[in-house]
Structure 1
Amino acid sequence: MELPAVNLKVILLVHWLLTTWGSIVFGGPYSWANFTILALGVWAVAQRDSVDAISMFLGGLLATILLDIIHISIFYQWNVVSATGRFSAGMAILSLLLKPLSCFLVHHMYRERGGELHFHSDFLGPSQERSAYQTIDSTAEPAEPVSGFEPRGPDARGY
């Protein structure tokens, strides 16, 4: 299936605009949650090859779907709503309705960056192969520094 070419910057711009308008009525937790996730999106734009950045943004978008439902349902005052309040609530709801589409598009970008489709069975376990690491209680000599930095002892200072 061929997906439309949507830039991550466009997704961020749309959600930033809708979040800004939605924050007129739903301030506080709604604004904090959504603007924090948009900051993760900026990180994903800045580091185009980072799987971590795009996966954090995707996970944040998924989390804000639930949080937006909770915020809107708790804090929307049905009986005293002005035109500004209806507009703001409408923009928050539109943002909420667009988030599943955004998640779908961001997931496609995640896959393009090398992310995997499924979780590993050791999801909560070690994330790297550690057999090449030296243990703390090992008596073997440490390996040479890779960075080229060589610590100097008292005899190397020229005293």
Structure 2
Amino acid sequence: MELPAVNLKVILLIHWLLTTWGCIVFSGSYAWANFTVLALGVWAVAQRDSIDAISMFLGGLLATVVLDIIHLGVFYPRSGLSDTSRFGAGMAILSLLLKPVSCYLVYHMYQERGGEHLFHSGFLRPSHDHSAYQTIDSPEAPADPFAGPESRDPAVRGY
């Protein structure tokens, strides 16, 4: 199935707008959680090649799905809703309903940036790229980082 070409900026704009309207009724932890995740999304837009930025945004979106369900369940006003309160609560609920779709789209952006399948490779395993490491049985000894350049020269050390 071919995915629609949705820009990450559009996803951010929609969730920013819905979160702003949701903050009419729900403030505090709802606002902190959602605007923090939107900041991670701005990072993902700014660094287009970063797998870390897009994966943090995806993880934040998934976390706010759970947090929004809890927040709406605990703090939803039971009585005396004005039109403004109903609108704000409706926008928070709409944002929650759109987040799984956004997660799906962001996950495919994560894969396009070179991210592995999270479910097959293990999310918390270390990277397999060890090209920057020096092997233990390397023939050359590492230089003393605290010594001056004269102590690194074998002629000066008397070897």
Please tell me the residue identity of whatever aligns with 2:54: I
Please tell me the residue identity of whatever aligns with 2:64: T
Write the mapping of 1:16-35 to structure 2, written as runs, cut at 5 A: 16-35=16-35
CA RMSD of aligned residues (A): 2.7
Residue in 2 aligned with 1:2? 2
Residue in 2 aligned with 1:74? 74
Task: Report % sequence identity.
Answer: 71
The count of aligned residue pairs is 147
Residue in 2 aligned with 1:51? 51
Q: Does 1:36 align with 2:48?
A: no
CA distance in structure 2 between the partners assigned to 1:85 and 1:94 by the alignment: 14
CA distance in structure 2 between the partners assigned to 1:15 and 1:118 by the alignment: 24
Q: Could you list the runs of 5+ residues in structure 2 that have no partner in the other structure?
A: 152-159
Report the alpha carbon displacement of residue 78 of structure 1 after superposing the two structures with TM. Answer: 1.4
Q: Does 1:101 align with 2:101?
A: yes
The change in CA–CA distance for 1:29 and 1:107 in structure 2 (over 3 A counts) is: same
The change in CA–CA distance for 1:30 and 1:108 in structure 2 (over 3 A counts) is: same
Report the alpha carbon displacement of residue 141 of structure 1 after superposing the two structures with TM. Answer: 2.5
Report the alpha carbon displacement of residue 80 of structure 1 after superposing the two structures with TM. Answer: 2.1
Q: Deviations over 1:103-133 (max 9, x none)?
A: 1111111111111113466654543555943
TM norm structure 2: 0.81
Q: Does 1:83 align with 2:83?
A: yes
Residue in 2 aligned with 1:133? 134
Q: Secondary structure at the match of 1:103?
A: helix
CA distance in structure 2 between the partners assigned to 1:4 and 1:122 by the alignment: 28
Q: Secondary structure at the match of 1:109?
A: helix
CA distance in structure 1 between the partners assigned to 2:129 and 2:31 by the alignment: 40
Q: Secondary structure at the match of 2:116?
A: coil
Report the alpha carbon displacement of residue 96 of structure 1 after superposing the two structures with TM. Answer: 0.3
CA distance in structure 1 between the partners assigned to 2:48 and 2:143 by the alignment: 33
TM norm structure 1: 0.81
The change in CA–CA distance for 1:87 and 1:126 in structure 2 (over 3 A counts) is: same
Write the mapping of 1:114-129 to structure 2, written as runs, cut at 5 A: 114-119=114-119, 123-128=123-128
CA distance in structure 1 between the partners assigned to 2:19 and 2:43 by the alignment: 18
